[in-house]
Structure 1
Amino acid sequence: MCIGVVPTSAFLKSKSDAGYHRTDVLNEFSRQDQPPIHHDGEDILQLEHTDPVLNAKMHLVNDAIDEIGFTTYQWKLFVLNGFGYAVDSLILLIQSIIAGQAALEFNPSYPKGMTMAAYSGMLIGALFWGMGADVIGRKFAFNVSLMVCSIFAILAGTSPNWYVLGLFIALSSFGAGGNLVLDTTVFLEYLPSKDQWLLTLMAAWWGIGQLVAGLFAWAFIPNFSCIDPSIDPAAAPCAYSNNKGWRYIWYASGSLVFVMSILRITVIRLNETPKYLLGRGADTEVVETLQGIATRYGRSCSLTLEKLSACGVTAIQSGSRFALSGLTVHLRGLFATPRIALSTSLIWFSWTLIGLAYPLYSVFLPSYLASRGASFGETSSYITWRNYALSNMCSIFGPILAGYLCSLKLLGRKYTMVIGALVTMTFFFAYTQVRNNAQNLGFNCAISFWLNVYYGTLYAYTPEVLPSAHRGTGNGIAVGFNRVMGILSAVIATVADTNTPVPIYICAALYIVMAAVAAVFPFEPYGRRSS
């Protein structure tokens, strides 16, 4: 007999309750006239009635994960999944850092081509790995994506011309692009409910990737790069022999990612996530996975195959998962009810907005920093890239604060995003009044910090409120919209002057809209468990 949760009163019917059968549980799940009730153990989407059988089974799996609790297995996932966060930001920033020096060597007709290559690769990667995660599972992408990224990142350093460089950057970005989709999904689907705030904290790895990119730039660009002839007409022409700094950055980055990919395979042998298996109807594997973790770490787990089987067969199991209809099932699932449809639409809109705001500020920040430094009398490449590294370091601590704020009942995820967006907007507007180098560095550090309070929380919120069976697809499309706007930002940078404060004003206005959208999200994950 299935032991499930009843939305109206949250009581559990045990197997000993006479006359209470599976059909009674499903009838309780299908009732539409009950208001949401907040209580411990409530699953976020349990009132949406998309699949009563899956809802009942999901509740049992969540109970089992909570019963096992937080173990060393989750700590390993926190680090190894965090690598994916770091790699995504690392590759994205590396291409913007090296583009200027590579352009001096190759003299391209379209200088912003590397940005378009990176975002195009990440767009395809997000859709491919995201949808693939719902079709073939999370495990394959988790093990393969970083390896693909590392190989082409190393090859990018060998590029003989601008076009080959763009190809390798696109292919490296393809591997990196699926990590934001998969890492949050995999980590969330093993997390006990009381520890779901760690999903926000994990975004600190994004800042670590930014810091590494800044440190590589600081180490290699000033010491192994040619001088821009427009700055010093007497400088020697830029060629392979005197402009290896940007190549060294790719070699170092690719090697680091390669080590990360090896650690993913050797440190933890990832099992397919229980909630993915649940959607596939693999109840036996669900029980084996969770019982295996419990046994390995000396924890109890009362979940049995009999309890899951008594709930019945989930609707999503029907049909071939490799057919086109398999993908349409996942797309329809993201709009299964009015509230889920509103939630999905607002999440995608938020990712679209941040997809324009973040590149305008971050990807084109080097040129803006250089112009501001020059106006303050600062022309040292060493100081410019040092400041870049310092501002990126500040981004590590934003998600740490966000993780704490998310754990407060008064704020939760939604209002943490509101605070992060509004404070970021304030610093953007104030930034245009900077008058010296110290202020320039200080405001950049503040923006990097508060921007990642919002961004880190959005990263975590997205998979938390998406239905588990369709989580990879929904997350992948969200990140895909983000990448489309990144491509658009490259076009904007081509026709606009990014050395002016105009992108700063645009970013500030976008964050006002983001704050408003966050405030009206229909679901608040605080105190609830992902479905």
Structure 2
Amino acid sequence: MADTANLEKSVIDTSSMEKNVTGGNNDPMFGDLRNADGSSLRSGEDILSLQDLDPALNMKMHLVNNAIDEIGWTGYHWKLFFLNGFGYAVDSLILLFQSIVAPSAFREFGQHGYANALTIAVYVGMLTGAIFWGFSADVIGRKWAFNITLFICSASCVIAGAMPNWPSLAFFIALLGFGGGGNLILDTTVFLEYLPSNKQWLLTFLAAWWGLGQAITGFIAWGFMVPGKWNCTDVETCTKANNWGWRYMLFTGGALVFVMSVLRITVVRLRETPKYLLGLGEDAKVVETFQFLAAKYNRPCSLTLEKLEAYGQIQSAHGKKLFSFSETRIHFRGLFINKKMTISTILVWVSWALIGLIYPLFYVFLPTYLANHGRVFDRTTFETWRNYCITNICGIPGPIIAGYMCNTKLLGRKYTMSIGALITCAFFFAYTAVKTAAQDTAFTCLIACFLNIYYGTLYAYTPEVLPSAHRGTGNGVAVAFNRIMGIVSAIVATFANTQTSAPLYICASLFILAAGISAVFPYEPYGRRSS
């Protein structure tokens, strides 16, 4: 009852503050806005406007969102779309690289050690990276973490290709994961915090870069892992001299990521996001950022420092000392500020954990199941990597379809995820009945497409329903749960009895649970603006 009373007081205080400062709804920051093309743009509802219980933050966030909508889509957003998309591509590239190079590298190093070490290494790296960079983004800001993570990835990838033994390779693969683990969190966060509300669906569409990254990885592997002169097959005769394929692959990937990291700095020249600056209390810098964008792209901007300062000081976003235990506590507490947000945060984290377990575990048990039922498909190395590229290309349309679906009132984000999960579940069950190589390829392509409808929307939904001051932390923990389950799947792959088919049906059934969770998420971002 006390929380309800406080919430009602917040609503009353917020309404009163708006009326006192604007004198009603005639102010352009609260009334009828106009896009650059002259079309009407009514100020929208902020998805968490009544959840933070900080009236100053609520009203200032409303002003900031109005300013973003007033300026609209610009060339700056196009740059962010492409260069943040590179980050998505890098994250998928990292996960696939380690799985592709591991067998060849393990063979070269005499098959001494833990066979799944690279899988564990990359997931541990991405786990620590997600937590470290997620929290850092809420403390030191989005800009520095955004620029640093890709450089870590590129350097680690190149150095990994020169490693002389299995443990050192695993170390730099873990470091590669550390950079990539934070990169994905920052891509969605930075892009969202600059997006006009009528373009928020592009956050889901952005995940198409994930499929593109997988496709690029497939083509690189096709080029370097097929030629016999670069790939040995016998552990007894396998040496560095006749096994350069996996090293060339890492060198190429590292060089590509380095180019992307340079472009991030030279092309975008990212300015700190206004919503992060708002949480810091840097009202003047918020206004300066918007005025800069408005002047550069010849757009209107009616936000002024006086309007922001009229609502007082924000109290809830940060502690007195940024690098302290109290700061950490504030960011975690901000994710559980009331019952509705607590339910939302927990369900989002559970969803990330589920998908992190289901997908890799399914493919741990599938090969043995198919073999036991007489469905072994003999393919040449060329055919294997060709089909690998085809499958990854098929993953690209998934987020594009999801981008359209989630921007419809009937489906929104929640039911788009539910549909994607249920269709993927159906194909998981159907996959166990494949009889030919063509069917095998077809089902992997269909799963890649429809899984990315769910995955891409979940990636976008997560930052949309998190408060900006704690978005990095909440997003980081969500991805961390996903990586923990990835580690679990790698351990299961090593020690479990893969002869049983029960886990296949359990994994497929868990998609039904994921679909149900999506349907009952407390927040629907469609038609609302991120806070």
Query: Aligned residue for 1:74?
Result: 77
User: 1:349-402, CA deviations, whole angstroms, 9 ceiling, x for partnerless residues?
Assistant: 00111111232356x599779969994452311111111111111111100000
Q: Distance in 2 between matches of 1:248 and 1:369?
A: 34
Q: Is the 8 A contact 2:43 2:66 kept in 1?
A: no
Change (3 A) 1:497 1:93: farther
Q: Distance in 2 between matches of 1:365 and 1:187?
A: 37
Q: Distance in 1 between matches of 2:459 and 2:436?
A: 34
Q: Distance in 1 between matches of 2:374 and 2:86?
A: 35
Query: Aligned residue for 1:291?
Result: 291
For 1:162-241, list aligned pairs within 5 A: 162-223=166-227, 224-229=229-234, 237-241=237-241
For 1:209-288, list aligned pairs within 5 A: 209-223=213-227, 224-229=229-234, 237-288=237-288
Shift of 1:13: 3.1
Q: Is structure 2 residue 124 aligned with structure 1 residue 123? A: no
Change (3 A) 1:357 1:499: same
Shift of 1:496: 2.9
Q: Is the 8 A contact 1:6 1:12 kept in 2?
A: no
Q: Is the 8 A contact 2:14 2:58 kept in 1?
A: no
Shift of 1:50: 2.4
Q: Distance in 2 between matches of 1:409 and 1:529?
A: 15
Q: Which amino acid aligns with 1:269?
A: R
Query: Percent sequence identity over matched residues?
Result: 58
Q: Distance in 2 between matches of 1:357 and 1:407?
A: 27
Superposed CA RMSD in Å reads 2.6
Q: How many pairs are equivalent?
A: 504
For 1:290-439, list aligned pairs within 5 A: 290-315=290-315, 316-361=317-362, 375-439=375-439
Q: Which amino acid aligns with 2:55?
A: P
Query: Aligned residue for 1:22?
Result: none
Shift of 1:506: 3.6
Q: Which amino acid aligns with 1:249?
A: M
Quick check: 151-160 or 4-13, which moved more?
4-13
Shift of 1:226: 3.7
Q: Which amino acid aligns with 2:305?
A: L
Q: Distance in 2 between matches of 1:91 and 1:182?
A: 16
Counterpart of 2:19 (choices 13, 25, 38) is: 13
Q: Which amino acid aligns with 1:187?
A: F
Q: Is the 8 A contact 1:199 1:460 kept in 2?
A: yes
Change (3 A) 1:423 1:53: same
Shift of 1:100: 1.0
Q: Distance in 2 between matches of 1:294 and 1:477?
A: 35
Shift of 1:109: 2.7
Q: Distance in 2 between matches of 1:225 and 1:497?
A: 34
- Matched residue SS, 1:243: coil
Q: Is the 8 A contact 1:184 1:463 kept in 2?
A: yes
Change (3 A) 1:108 1:369: farther
Quick check: 397-406 or 45-54, which moved more?
45-54
- Matched residue SS, 2:252: helix
Counterpart of 2:66 (choices 60, 63, 67) is: 63
Shift of 1:317: 4.6
Q: Is the 8 A contact 1:131 1:472 kept in 2?
A: yes
User: 1:421-456, CA deviations, whole angstroms, 9 ceiling, x for partnerless residues?
Assistant: 000000000000100011000000000000000000
Q: Distance in 1 between matches of 2:208 and 2:372?
A: 28
Q: Distance in 2 between matches of 1:181 and 1:358?
A: 20
Normalised to the residue count of structure 1, the TM-score between the two structures is 0.90
Q: Is the 8 A contact 2:417 2:453 kept in 1?
A: yes
Q: Distance in 2 between matches of 1:75 and 1:320?
A: 36
Q: Which amino acid aligns with 2:344?
A: S
Q: Is the 8 A contact 2:146 2:186 kept in 1?
A: yes
Q: Is the 8 A contact 1:70 1:191 kept in 2?
A: yes
Change (3 A) 1:508 1:272: same
Query: Aligned residue for 2:35?
Result: none
Shift of 1:505: 2.8
Q: Distance in 1 between matches of 2:372 and 2:188?
A: 37
Query: Aligned residue for 2:3?
Result: none
Q: Is the 8 A contact 1:5 1:56 kept in 2?
A: no
Counterpart of 1:85 (choices 85, 88, 91) is: 88
Shift of 1:7: 11
Change (3 A) 1:498 1:244: farther
Shift of 1:339: 0.5
Change (3 A) 1:302 1:347: same
Q: Which amino acid aligns with 2:324?
A: A
User: 1:178-210, CA deviations, whole angstroms, 9 ceiling, x for partnerless residues?
Assistant: 011100000000000010000000000111111
Q: Distance in 2 between matches of 1:119 and 1:512?
A: 25
Shift of 1:248: 1.0
Quick check: 375-384 or 337-346, which moved more?
375-384
Change (3 A) 1:318 1:167: closer
User: 1:89-137, CA deviations, whole angstroms, 9 ceiling, x for partnerless residues?
Assistant: 1011110111111111111331001000000000011011100000000
Change (3 A) 1:342 1:444: same
Shift of 1:47: 2.1
Q: Structure 2: 5+ residue runs without aligned partners?
A: 1-9, 25-29, 31-41
Shift of 1:305: 0.3
Shift of 1:228: 3.5
- Matched residue SS, 1:56: helix
Query: Aligned residue for 2:37?
Result: none
Q: Is the 8 A contact 1:118 1:169 kept in 2?
A: yes
- Matched residue SS, 1:242: coil
Q: Distance in 2 between matches of 1:146 and 1:503?
A: 36
Q: Which amino acid aligns with 2:145?
A: A
User: 1:484-526, CA deviations, whole angstroms, 9 ceiling, x for partnerless residues?
Assistant: 1111111011013668866543431221111011011000000
Q: Is the 8 A contact 1:45 1:467 kept in 2?
A: yes
Shift of 1:6: 7.6
Q: Is the 8 A contact 1:85 1:180 kept in 2?
A: yes
Change (3 A) 1:236 1:256: same
Q: Distance in 2 between matches of 1:10 and 1:526?
A: 27
Q: Distance in 1 between matches of 2:374 and 2:382?
A: 13
Q: Distance in 2 between matches of 1:406 and 1:123?
A: 28
Query: Aligned residue for 2:38?
Result: none
Q: Is the 8 A contact 1:208 1:396 kept in 2?
A: yes
Q: Distance in 2 between matches of 1:265 and 1:361?
A: 39
